[in-house]
Amino acid sequence: MSRFCPNCGKPLHNDQDVCLSCGKSVAGARHNKIAAGILAIFLGGFGIHKFYLGQAGMGILYLVFCWSGITEIIGIIEGIIYLCMSDEDFAAKYH
């Protein structure tokens, strides 16, 4: 029991994919949408949020084009999208 449910805080077994207390899925809960959104808004021009989400190829692409300023605009837009997504949609797409 070294993990805790991110929704209700109850202890979880290491092999548990669903919290027995609140019923929410906890499988692969490793990326935080708030952290991804903040990284995208403030450091999105360098692709830091892409590296955080495990998309290293896209992160490198952002680094290559960071001089243009376009990646900063895209990063801000992606950050807003991440923050407006529901937790379930974010987990389904990025976990």
Q: How many CB atoms within 10 Å of residue 4?
A: 13
DSSP 3-state of 12 = strand
Enter the pTM of the model: 0.70
Domain map of the chain by residue range?
1-29, 31-95
Token pair, residue 59, equals: 């992160």
Of the listed ranges 1-5, 31-35, 88-92, the one predicted with least confidence: 1-5
Of the listed ranges 2-6, 34-38, 58-62, the one predicted with least confidence: 2-6
> pLDDT-derived band of residue 73, with 50, 70 and 90 as boundaries?
very high
> pLDDT-derived band of residue 49, with 50, 70 and 90 as boundaries?
very high
Q: Is the pLDDT of residue 71 over 90?
A: yes
Token pair, residue 70, equals: 């376009």
